[in-house]
Every structure is written in structure tokens, then in C-alpha cells.
Structure 1
Amino acid sequence: MRTGRPLTAAAFAVALTGLAIAPAGAAQGGLEVYPATTAPGARVTVDTTACGPQGTASGDASAVGAGTFTLAPRGTDTDSAGSFTVPPSAQPGTYEIVARCSGTGTLVTGDLIVSLAGAGSPGAQMPRGHIETGVGGALGPDPVQTAAGVAALAVAAAGGTWLLHRRARGEGI
């Protein structure tokens, strides 16, 4: 019975499938948050190029308690920008800010770190540890590294299958 070819084909199919995997709704450009680290009560600006030229978006900063805001095109640039104020009652931590492009529905996200003191100030407290936003999971934060890992596993599976096939035919290793 020859199982080498079906196993090799299956390994390559898994590798090709892994290379095509990307986080659903992820967009090029992401959501840039300025300043990325701020204190409660500060004004924050966000922008993205994901909505295209003259694109608008609906922003959501309710994770930090700031509610919704609008991103609009900035002059002749290809990005859209908007701003919101971090509530004075915001607790220190990392918050996910989200924007959805009008028309395309593209979703972009960015992180805002709220510290008791502004970034660079003496005594600024930076949050530490893993952020549980519900994004990531098995794919991890970087789809390129995930694809490379899947490809390495596929090559290892194909090599192992080839060695087992040679051994079964009596050719040795």
C-alpha cells in the first residue's frame, strides 16, 4: 500500500491553507493612536489609511468610556482622522479602539494605554501582561509568523513521509 503520496499531498494542502489564513476583517494600515500612552482627561487623535482616499469611518472608544466618534478625510491625504477625550474617570490599562470604514465595512483597531501619569512623566505606570481582547487565538498576533510556522510543519511532514516511504521500500535512510 502506497501512503507516501497522499500524505505528502495532504501536508502541502495544509501548508497552502495555512498561508492563506489571515485574521478576518483585518486591514492594511491599522488604526494609529496619538498619543499611544496618555492620562485620563487627555485628548487623543486616531487615524487610518485603511478606508482609502476620502474615506470616512465610525470610531468606537467605548472600551475606555469615551463613546463613539467620527473619522473624516484630512485634506488631500489618503488617511482619515478623528479624536476623542479620555474620560477623567478612566482607569489605568490598555484599551482597544475600533473604527469601521463607511462603505467597505473594513474594521481597524489600535491600542490606547491609559496611565496615571502621561507617557514620559516621572512615576508613569505602564500596564503589563497579556491583553485579553478576544483577538488572536490560534493565529497569534502575526499572520506572517503563523504562515512560516505552518510551512515549516508542512516541510517537516513531507520530509518524514519521504523517509518513511524510502524505509518501507527497503532503501534505508
Structure 2
Amino acid sequence: MRRTARLLTGTALAAAAAGLASAPAYAAGTGTLEVFPSSVVPGSQVTVNTAVCGDKGSATGDAGAVGAGTFTLAPSAHEGDAIGQFRVPPSAQPGTYEIVAKCAEGGRQVTGDLVVTLSAAPAQVQPRGSVKTGVGGALGPGSAQTTAGVAALAVAAAGGTWLLHRRARGDGF
């Protein structure tokens, strides 16, 4: 029993040590190039940032795929990220383009995607017209319909008053 416990403990320690030894190598290879906004129209300015290059790291960006050429990512106070900007040329065609940044120290490379569209996101459309609640609204459907509705109510009120008046006089109905 004691021998089995030692064997299991030794195996668990070996696995943990192997996991710890490989963690820095795995973490060093990860990272992203964040692209803001990720979807643009030709002529727009794009900002990219990455934390892969370290707190004081800089990088060279490449937006040649979209036709913008190279740009610099400089260290910033924003969470230690390296940040850079470029402008999408007005001649850019719709599609998804890979933007690349390569760290000045260590040569690590990260990529991000930029989507170019021909039209900007649709503007939010404000609702128009009246709400069909049966009560009416301040922004009625139109002056002709409002006038017709008021006239119908006036005729109904006049007719109801006339019928009640006849009934009270005893003329019958």
C-alpha cells in the first residue's frame, strides 16, 4: 500500500513539474494583435495593439496586405501594450486582411484580422408613425386621418346624444 502511494505521488509530482516546465514556452507563443475597429470602410483609420512585446516593447506592423504598408507600434501606458495606427487606403477592396506585428526584441510575431467593407454599419433608424394602441398619439398618422377620426367621433357623440334625448322624451326608439 505504501509503495503504491509513493508511486502515485511521484507520478503526480513528475506531471506537475513537466506542466510547469512547459508553461512559459506555451505562454510565450500566445498573444494576439487586437485590431480596432475590426471592420472598416476604405479611408478609415485603424488602431492595433499587442501585449506580446512586453511592457516597454515596440514592434513593426505590416498592413501591406490591405495596401497600407508598414507602421510602428510604440510602447504605451495602456496596460503595457505596444500601440500603432495606420490608414486603410481609399482604393482598398472588400475582404478580410491579415495585419502582422513583429516585436523589435525577440522577433515574436502576432497577427490579427481586418475586415474591409464598402458600406459603413447601417445607421440606427428612428421609428416613425403612430403606435397602434387605439388611444391615438401625439404624432398621429396624418392630418387627414386625424380629421376623419375626430369627425367620426363627433358624429357618434351627436347621434348618441340625440338617441338619449328621444328616449327621455318618450318618443321611443
> Under TM normalisation by the shorter chain, which class is it?
0.5 to 0.7
Q: Distance in 2 between matches of 1:34 and 1:69?
A: 15
Which one of the candidate residues 32, 48, 62 is aligned to 1:30? 32
Closer, same or farther in 2 for the Cα pair 1:103/1:96, shift >3 Å?
A: same
Q: Distance in 1 between matches of 2:77 and 2:66?
A: 29
Which one of the candidate residues 49, 52, 63 is aligned to 2:51? 49
Is 2:44 aligned against 1:65? no
Structure 2 unpaired stretches of 5+:
1-21, 23-27, 125-173
Partner of 1:86: 88
RMSD value, Cα: 2.1
Checking the alignment, whether the CA contact within 8 Å between 1:27 and 1:108 is kept in structure 2 is: no
Structure of higher RCO (CA pairs closer than 8 Å, 6+ residues apart) = 1
Q: Distance in 1 between matches of 2:30 and 2:80?
A: 13
* 3-state DSSP of counterpart to 1:70: strand
TM-score by length of 1: 0.53
Q: Give the fraction of aligned pairs with identical amino acids, expressed as a percent.
A: 58
Q: Which amino acid aligns with 1:107?
A: Q
Q: Distance in 2 between matches of 1:41 and 1:76?
A: 26
How far apart are residue 117 of structure 1 and its match? 1.2
Give the alignment of 1:22-171 within 5 angstroms.
Answer: 27-75=29-77, 77-120=79-122
Q: Distance in 1 between matches of 2:48 and 2:38?
A: 9
TM-score by length of 2: 0.53
Q: Distance in 1 between matches of 2:56 and 2:104?
A: 11
Q: Distance in 2 between matches of 1:32 and 1:104?
A: 20
How far apart are residue 121 of structure 1 and its match? 5.0
Q: Which amino acid aligns with 1:33?
A: V
Checking the alignment, whether the CA contact within 8 Å between 1:52 and 1:79 is kept in structure 2 is: yes
Give 1 or 2 for the bigger CA radius of gyration.
2
Q: Which amino acid aligns with 2:33?
A: L
Q: Which amino acid aligns with 1:78?
A: G
How far apart are residue 120 of structure 1 and its match? 4.7
* 3-state DSSP of counterpart to 2:43: coil
Structure 1 unpaired stretches of 5+:
1-19, 21-25, 123-173
How far apart are residue 76 of structure 1 and its match? 6.0
Closer, same or farther in 2 for the Cα pair 1:64/1:76, shift >3 Å?
A: closer
Checking the alignment, whether the CA contact within 8 Å between 1:44 and 1:86 is kept in structure 2 is: yes
Closer, same or farther in 2 for the Cα pair 1:72/1:120, shift >3 Å?
A: farther
